[in-house]
Structure 1
Amino acid sequence: MEYFGRVLFEEQEAVLKLVKEWALATGKYAVEKNIPLEKALGTLPIYRSVIWDVFTRELEEHQFAAITMLHVSERIDPLLDTVTCIFGQIYDEHNRYMMNLAYTSLEELSVPLVPVTKGIAIMPIIGEIDTHRSQVIMETCLKKGTSLQLAYLILDISGVVIIDTMVADNLFKIHQALKLVGVEAIITGIRPEIAQTVVKLGINFNQIKTEANLEAALLKIGFRRSEEHRPTHLSSRRIK
């Protein structure tokens, strides 16, 4: 209420600057306290109503000219409109941030990396592999591959619907990136119909190690389920 009184006697721009600072601080506080936007804005009509009740009484008691009330409106209304606008912007930015956070979390869940034992992990890939998702897969593989000190990462694509030249190129890039950080990538789960498509399109998988399924890949790198056959994947033997 102080600013509404000051704007009648001081420079409007100076008071408007103070109002913006107050609105930013108050809006951020409301967001932090999870106060709904409609509740945060609910006080503004009350301010407007109280202000005009006061000036209406003054008009009746002192016989102010109507033009005076118009001038008052021209100075006070922009302050209220500014607060409304800033509150809306703050809540919009917060909602966008939360949506991006949720989207990022969903992306990470869509490419889970599951450790099997020390040095070995599996990443089941389901659905389409477009350019954006392949980037997410690569970032997850490199980050987790390094942090978990993986020697082998099995990429199971049995849930991938289509493999075309773009998907194959993305898989090749992921394979090469992992190789640069010392992780041996193995592709499993290429279904018969996908294999036929790969051959028809002339896609070259020669530089990528593949196995029929997860079990075959694990056996290839020396992993055994029984205690008497301990994993040999951390020895000097590599896939040939």
Structure 2
Amino acid sequence: MQSFENFSNYISGNTENLSTEVVEAVLFRMKLNIPEWEKEQALSLYTALFGFFGKSLVDGDENTVPDELINWSKQNAAMQMTNNGKISEIVVRYPVTRDVLTEILTRISIELKLSIEENAFIIKRINNMLDVSLNETVFAFERFSDQFKEETQKELAKLSAPIVPVKDGIVVLPLVGDMNCYRLSHIIDHVIPKIAELNVDHVIADFSGIFTINEEVAQHLHQIGSTIGLMGIHFITTGLRPELAQAIVQRGINYEGDSFATVKQALESIK
């Protein structure tokens, strides 16, 4: 259609000016002050977006979006995650951006004497791109968030049960913080094999740093003690506060090995 060709040629020939207009309008309306590099990134994105948009009106599939837009959306989510930002800080920009683009494209449609139906098609097309961009940004942010949480859990698991050699043949296993199933599984899968490699005779598991204990945690701890005992290593528990000890007894958990109030007492008991 000739009208779409004229519109396409106008858009393709004014990508940089239109990009600048969009970015400046969004920043002004939202009263945002962003770094210059982020502004340049946005200008580059909208330049590519307008170029693709103009071309797609004539010979493109109306259901496709430029790879640049999808990649930018993912990068935007990654940057927000890295800077400890919230996804809402990105999402709130989309309605304003949508309004600005609608106004600009409608103005151009009027200048080029497009029909109401043709203008409606153009607005629908740009909204489709924005919807895809928003979805890709949110999905990417969730993926990065899940990945970050998993990596954080792994680091916390390592810190929550370090192996501390104190004497020849003796190591202390201080259990720290909330011992959830993930951390306890880490101890069973990674810490116990390391203890076996150290060829020790005594393991002192210090519970003084544990906040709370439930039945599932108690069962895991029992499994840890039993596994160490089956390896021929003397298993000693210390630091079981009265409320923790009572919780263990109430849940019918029977710990193998000796128990002392402090690590110092446990060390003194080892001949």
Structure 1 length as normaliser, TM-score? 0.65
Q: Deviations over 1:127-149 (max 9, x none)?
A: 67665554344345314414544
The question of whether the paired residues in 1 share the 8 Å contact of 2:161 and 2:174 is answered with yes
Residues 52 and 128 of structure 1: CA distance in aligned 2, closer, same or farther (over 3 Å): closer
Residue from 160, 170, 175 that aligns with 1:120: 170
Q: What residue in structure 2 maps to residue 27 of structure 1? A: 73
Partners of 1:147 and 1:198 lie apart in 2 by 30
SS in 1 for 2:172: strand
Structure 1 residue 48 displacement after superposition: 6.8
Normalized per residue, which structure has more helix?
2
Extract unaligned runs of 5+ from structure 1: 223-240
Partners of 1:165 and 1:145 lie apart in 2 by 25
The question of whether the paired residues in 1 share the 8 Å contact of 2:102 and 2:123 is answered with no
Residue from 214, 218, 239 that aligns with 2:263: 214
Structure 1 residue 95 displacement after superposition: 2.3
Q: What residue in structure 1 maps to residue 223 of structure 2? A: 173
Pairing of 1:55-74 with structure 2 (within 5 A): 55-60=106-111, 62-74=112-124
Q: What residue in structure 1 maps to residue 62 of structure 2? A: 12
Partners of 1:125 and 1:56 lie apart in 2 by 66
Structure 1 residue 123 displacement after superposition: 1.9
Partners of 1:5 and 1:141 lie apart in 2 by 59
Amino acid at match of 1:90: A
Structure 1 residue 22 displacement after superposition: 2.6
SS in 1 for 2:57: coil
Q: What residue in structure 1 maps to residue 143 of structure 2? A: 93
Residues 159 and 99 of structure 1: CA distance in aligned 2, closer, same or farther (over 3 Å): closer
Amino acid at match of 1:53: I
SS in 1 for 2:165: strand
Pairing of 1:1-240 with structure 2 (within 5 A): 1-9=50-58, 10-13=60-63, 15-16=64-65, 19=66, 21-30=67-76, 31=78, 34=82, 38=89, 49=100, 52-60=103-111, 62-125=112-175, 131=181, 134-139=184-189, 141-146=191-196, 148-158=198-208, 169-181=219-231, 183-190=233-240, 204-205=254-255, 208-212=256-260, 213-222=262-271
Higher deviation after alignment, 164-173 or 152-161: 164-173
The question of whether the paired residues in 1 share the 8 Å contact of 2:157 and 2:182 is answered with no
Q: Deviations over 1:205-228 (max 9, x none)?
A: 4xx220434234324444xxxxxx
Identity of aligned residues (%): 24
The question of whether the paired residues in 2 share the 8 Å contact of 1:123 and 1:156 is answered with yes
The question of whether the paired residues in 2 share the 8 Å contact of 1:7 and 1:76 is answered with no
Q: Deviations over 1:29-79 (max 9, x none)?
A: 34259476646985995587357525523423x422111101111222101
Structure 1 residue 167 displacement after superposition: 6.0
SS in 1 for 2:188: helix
Structure 1 residue 83 displacement after superposition: 1.0
The question of whether the paired residues in 1 share the 8 Å contact of 2:94 and 2:130 is answered with no
SS in 2 for 1:125: strand
Structure 2 length as normaliser, TM-score? 0.59
Residues 40 and 134 of structure 1: CA distance in aligned 2, closer, same or farther (over 3 Å): closer
Residues 145 and 131 of structure 1: CA distance in aligned 2, closer, same or farther (over 3 Å): same
Higher deviation after alignment, 4-13 or 167-176: 167-176
Q: What residue in structure 2 maps to residue 229 of structure 1? A: none
Structure 1 residue 86 displacement after superposition: 0.7
Structure 1 residue 177 displacement after superposition: 2.0
